[in-house]
Structure 1
């Protein structure tokens, strides 16, 4: 699931999209006094921080310090949180990434996937409006392989501002639409948050993109400029081989439609109503046409069930 998810988002450090909701700020922040690298500038919530280089050996376990406590809601499993962050390796004095420069907080599905485990553990139970500093050991970060400019076995230090949070529906819930075409896949209509069953026929796949309502919601139609929080299940048409999805980890993922790299998903979702479940049959040329990627054959026909849950 994570490998496929990584092919369906823009390649930022973690994932990406726009923020929503209001800030509920706590008191002004102060530099760390708990042995974590000092915040040397931009100490207040909402300001881009700078971090000193860590001193001595880094903590072997996750260490989280609340620099300033917010007064907003407590983050819980199933919430979608928007977080501004700056990340730096313990033994470096320059960040490898930050969202402050982009002016775009990062979406995190609490209790789901899509981010390193250290982020999930650090954010769980925190309040909106809080500024945190966290030291994340390699086994909760990018491990022995590293990531991009991040060295193998690196201890990571993050300053995180929890900008906002909202609850996300567990499932699409709309009017059932008849699935009469025997030459197209059938998709389950359950609304319990579990993966809908995909039943793919043995006939030849369609040559054009199919984007059909399974459950038709009542929300606004999505535009190319929107972001959308989704759950999905995917399979290859050939042999009905499962490709996974987000349901197994009860996670969501956020797609910013003007950045999603898969043409068939983008074209199939734009114009569909928020709150719907949509079946996509993506023909060769609109999926991953150039080469095999993460076990998905070149020019494969793909089948998706996508729940369009909410806007971020």
Structure 2
């Protein structure tokens, strides 16, 4: 099983389409794995911290962006405020609270320099939302306003970390100040789009998907033809990222319509909220999504056409556009995978 980060405050919210009826209804949510939930203080509304620029320990090796750092032990007493220092200034867009970020990071304890977690060794950057309940508050407050391409170092007191309960699984006591070095690789929000290379859509019997990359919903033109009886999974825009693996969670923009009517039944563009889901869980919910996205490259827009047996079959969500034995059509932008 893919190892989850220890710094996540609660199990990450998994937005699925399993219970969708129409655009006005919220998607059902489930957790994608048993992540540690450190303490009530990590998810409660702690007062916003005062942000200061130090002290933070020296980075003694691995000083380049996206290189695993070595960080010295903290010297003296740490600040009781949230200490945040931009070590390398990036030139990308500024991150805002509510955005998703993709980042490599290393976390250690101020007083001992003991490393309790890092993504560099796993070769698996973390993708998470800077939102209350999704990540410890030190990250949520400390990374807001920092730019993509930046390396940020933080010293986080317990109030904005794991609280007085600490995190026993990670060996963190309730009195420990935490030190993080974070390399912000990318950021995503409701206006994000795939940016891949346009791929020809020459099959007149398949839907044609718009290729706009302005963050707006692409058009989906369904032909007046019989729906395919097998799963279709074709690039519309082909990205240059790694292929999605069966055990990963993906962050996506998507739009879904019904083949027969062309009616939209759900869309992240309409909700103005990105979705993330585990391909493993999606196998049990909407199998065509899992099968159609596996192997596709991150950064791509994918056309999916799924016959009823790979969608909802004879058991569709109630009250929406999807009827019994509906063939479904999706445009899916794969923004990130973890």
Bin the TM-score by the shorter chain. 0.5 to 0.7
**Shift of the alpha carbon at 1:109?**
6.7
- Cα deviation, 1:10-42, whole Å, max 9, x if unaligned, reads 842xx54799xxxxxxxxxxxxxxxxxxxxxxx
CA contact (8 A) 1:234 1:303 kept: yes
- Cα deviation, 1:213-267, whole Å, max 9, x if unaligned, reads 0011111111101221110011001110111311124321112111212110000
Residues 132-281 of structure 1 mapped to structure 2, 5 A cutoff: 132=160, 166-168=186-188, 170-260=192-282, 261-281=285-305
- Cα deviation, 1:150-180, whole Å, max 9, x if unaligned, reads xxxxxxxxxxx9x977512711111111111
State the number of aligned residues. 216
Describe the shift of the 1:232–1:124 C-alpha distance in structure 2 as closer, same or farther (beyond 3 A): farther
Q: Which runs of 5+ in 1 are unaligned?
A: 20-45, 52-61, 83-104, 134-160
Structure-1 residue corresponding to 2:118: none
Residues 1-312 of structure 1 mapped to structure 2, 5 A cutoff: 5=17, 7=19, 11-12=29-30, 16=32, 48-49=38-39, 64-66=46-48, 69=82, 71=84, 76=96, 79-80=99-100, 107-108=128-129, 126-128=141-143, 132=160, 166-168=186-188, 170-260=192-282, 261-294=285-318, 295=320, 296-312=322-338
Q: Which moved more, 1:207-216 or 1:123-132?
A: 123-132
**TM-score for both structures, normalised by structure 1:** 0.57
Matched residue SS, 1:266 = helix
Describe the shift of the 1:279–1:47 C-alpha distance in structure 2 as closer, same or farther (beyond 3 A): closer
Describe the shift of the 1:186–1:292 C-alpha distance in structure 2 as closer, same or farther (beyond 3 A): same
**Shift of the alpha carbon at 1:278?**
0.2
Q: CA RMSD, aligned part only?
A: 4.0
Describe the shift of the 1:234–1:288 C-alpha distance in structure 2 as closer, same or farther (beyond 3 A): same
- Cα deviation, 1:91-121, whole Å, max 9, x if unaligned, reads xxxxxxxxxxxxxx994376xxxx9xx989x
**TM-score for both structures, normalised by structure 2:** 0.53
CA contact (8 A) 1:4 1:243 kept: no
